[in-house]
Structure 1
Amino acid sequence: MPPRLGTAATRYSRRMRFVLASASPARLSVLRSAGVDPVVRVSGVDEDAVTATLTDPTPAELVTTLAESKADAVAAAVATEHPDAVVVGCDSMLSTGGEVVGKPATAEVARRRWREMAGGSGELLTGHVVLRMRGGVVVERARDHLTTTVRFGEPTEAELDTYLASGEPLAVAGGFTLDGLGGWFVEGVDGDPSSVIGISLPLTRKLLARVNVSAVSLWTTSTAPASE
């Protein structure tokens, strides 16, 4: 009988928890589909205040710094409850038309952005930070970002009205989703689709490796094929 992940890998994952420093249901869904059942904690970081401390940051520096601020805040909050853990923070923004934008927050802003990017493309930047904790102390960290090109369709006014009325685009970076209602209006993605959803599995795996953690050791379900 072939070995199953529910043995050594599961015992290891019980000692070391994967903590997601985000309330994003999309990021949580990506991780669960990929075999990880993370502890979810919201950082409460004031993104505007963090941004104000930076002097003329590049888009990559901005999203990575925000991701790190969230990860650091959550690491401090869970140090007692989960002293042996990896904490992962992410932040995403869309670069389009020479402007870097986050969540629209209002339907008016979302409508304006969609009119500007319809039929064109934008670069979705996602900053990722992984913190390795031992004994409640951060002992290692790795940070990086990923850029993925998103090609947008051209929704009709009626379609855009309905999409805005759903409320979905108001609370997501760039005012669209790939895995939700917004997917109807995305023509294609050049790069990593999971990064557009909110967390890049390939990049997260590489960052985990930099802090000496194997991604597969965090899996909590077995996807091993049955023997023939």
Structure 2
Amino acid sequence: MLLVLASQSPARLQVLRSAGVEPSVHVSGVDEDALMATLHEDAAPETVVVALAEAKARTVAEEVAARYPDSVVVGCDSMLAHDGVLVGKPGTPEVARQRWLGMVGGTGVLLTGHSVIRVQDGALGAIASGTASTTVHFGSPSPAEIDAYVATGEPLSVAGGFTIDGKGGWFVDGVDGDPSSVIGLSLPLTRRLLIEIGVSVVDLWQAR
């Protein structure tokens, strides 16, 4: 059985590889901003990340079902809830710097939404979705350190503008919850969702 990762994130790919799974990577191309615009403005953060994850998983599952008739498609989305605001990727150095100046010495909740879809005999089957929440304790980097970190380009394309498995790890004091979720793909959550659709994670391991 093949696992198809509906994400271009190198961090998510590495989490799976380190856990014994070699996925096929297919980017969904889902317009996240357009999808979020269709959600109610008071939608809970968990609703937002799950809706995005499901859209990515379903889009890719429909695209690869014929090619991979016995597979599992995994869609993911992550956002940071900080000071009552849900934020995704900064996108620009200016936004990344402002976010870090606001996060210094504080905490945030990294919300990860996952959706898994079983493809059997080339048809979409069972689907399961859920979220994981991990509290992140930010350190107190100086403005110069923030500028240097932003200049690396790393925080621009990751949820919340930070990593714990890269240069951003120097500025995170700790996490309460699942570290793999903060990297981008929660192994415990994914395992539980796979069980819901009748798949054991050991069936996805490359070496048994």
**TM-score with structure 1 setting the length:** 0.90
For the aligned residue pairs, the C-alpha RMSD in angstroms reads: 0.7
Is 1:27 the counterpart of 2:12? The answer is yes
CA distance in 1, matches of 2:144, 2:153: 15
* 1:114 partnered with 2:100: yes
Could you give the per-residue CA deviations for residues 83-115 of structure 1, whole angstroms, max 9, x where no partner exists? Answer: 111000000000001100000001111111101
Q: Residue type of the partner of 1:175?
A: G
Misfit runs of 4+, over 4 Å: none
1:36 and 2:21 equivalent? Answer: yes
Deviation at 1:221, TM superposition (A): 2.2
Q: Matched residues in 2 for 1:213 and 1:158: separation?
A: 48
Q: Deviations over 1:12-70 (max 9, x none)?
A: xxxx2100000000000000000000000000000011111111211000000000000
Mapping of residues 63-142 of structure 1, within 5 Å: 63-142=49-128
Matched ranges for 1:127-166 at <5 A: 127-166=113-152
CA positional deviation for 1:80: 1.4
**Structure 2: gaps of 5 or more residues:** none
Q: By how many angstroms is 1:214 displaced?
A: 0.2
Corresponding residue for residue 49 of structure 1:
34
Cα distance in 1 for residues equivalent to 2:6 and 2:177: 24
Distance in 1 (alpha carbons) for counterparts of 2:93 and 2:83: 19
Quote the Cα distance in structure 2 between the aligned partners of 1:127 and 1:101: 14
**Aligned residue pairs: how many?**
207
- SS of match in other structure, 1:35: coil
In structure 1, how many angstroms separate the alpha carbons of the residues matched to 2:183 and 2:53? 15
Q: Given the alignment, which residue of 182, 186, 202 partners 2:188?
A: 202
Query: What is the alpha-carbon distance in structure 1 between the residues aligned to residue 144 and residue 102 of structure 2?
Result: 17
AA aligned to 2:90 is: P
In 1, Cα distance between the equivalents of 2:154 and 2:29? 21
Deviation of residue 158 (structure 1)? Answer: 1.6
Q: Which has the larger radius of gyration?
A: 1
The AA in structure 2 aligned to 1:49 is A
Contact 2:101 2:143 in 1 (8 A): no
Pick the aligned partner of 1:188 from 155, 164, 174: 174
- Counterpart of 1:43 in 2: which secondary structure? coil
Among candidates 197, 201, 207, match of residue 211 of structure 1 = 197
Does structure 1 retain, via aligned residues, the 8 Å contact 2:57–2:73? yes
Q: What amino acid does structure 1 have at the position aligned with 2:95?
A: V
Residue-by-residue CA offset, 1:142-193 (whole Å, 9 max, x unaligned):
0000100000001112211110000000000000001011000000000000
**CA distance in structure 2 between the partners assigned to 1:96 and 1:118 by the alignment:** 11
Letter in 2 for 1:45: V
Query: Could you report, residue by residue, the CA deviation over 1:107-158 in whole angstroms, capped at 9, with x for unpaired residues?
Result: 1111111011110000000001000011221110000001000000011122
* Residues in 2 aligned to 1:221 and 1:121: alpha-carbon distance in whole angstroms: 39
CA distance in 2, matches of 1:113, 1:221: 42
Give the match for residue 12 of structure 1: none
Supply the distance in 1 between the matched residues of 2:116 and 2:62 (Cα, whole angstroms).
14
Higher relative contact order (CA 8 A, sep 6+): 1
Q: CA deviation at 1:218?
A: 0.6
